[in-house]
Amino acid sequence: MKSGAIDFYFDFISPYAYLGSQLVDALGERQGRGVDWRPLLLGISVLRVMELKAIADTPLKGTYSRHDAPRFARYLGLPFKRPHGVLKPLAPMRAFVWLKQNDPAAATLFARTFFRAQWGEGRNLSDPDAVAALAAELGHNAPAVRAAIDDEAVKQRLRTDVDAAIAAGVFGVPTLVVDGELFWGADRLPMVERWLESGGW
């Protein structure tokens, strides 16, 4: 490993974070960097700070992103299927935070798998029981995951993490931070890779 890890900020609600999630670990591997997956809560925290509404609720931009995200997935060779219904990222984000406390690699695998199930296969896994079931498919203890989702300490940990992300200037997903440089957007991964290859500019 070269110096620091790549910080990868994500929120399960975002199809663009999904696209980044399927690519970032391979990018880190190619560049000899670890990847530190970090939670953000776009709708619940960041957009309030920015006084913005969600992309999906923004005229013109919402229409664009519904067409662009699957087109971008095809460009990258990734499966894409929009899940039905409202997505509520709190339960899986809490499960991620809880898993990460003991085993960051397992948390990363959970998050990458969750993204793929939700945005690649179109499964709406917002329900806490569905989150626990997915974790169980990866070998985790379903009742423990289910309990963690309602655990006050886990909730607080997620809030603390999100506050720290905002304090670091992160406002969208995916955001990658390398050596103190923020790059926002799934379309910026090639630029991040160039940054790592070249040492920056």
Q: Which residues bind a second copy (CB under 8 A)?
A: 46, 49-53, 58-61, 63-64, 67-68, 71-72, 74-75, 166, 169-172, 181-185, 187-188, 190-191, 194, 201
Least Cβ distance, residue 195 to a second copy (angstroms): 8
DSSP 5: P
Nearer to a second copy, 144 or 168 (CB): 168
Least Cβ distance, residue 181 to a second copy (angstroms): 8
Nearer to a second copy, 71 or 81 (CB): 71
Least Cβ distance, residue 72 to a second copy (angstroms): 8
DSSP 76-136: HT----PPSS----HHHHHHHHHHHHH-HHHHHHHHHHHHIIIIIS-----SHHHHHHHHH
Nearer to a second copy, 48 or 82 (CB): 48
Least Cβ distance, residue 3 to a second copy (angstroms): 19
d(CA 30, CA 56): 34
Nearer to a second copy, 2 or 71 (CB): 71
- Sign, CA dihedral 11-14-19-22, equals positive
Return all residues near 61 (Cβ < 8 A) that are at least 6 apart.
55
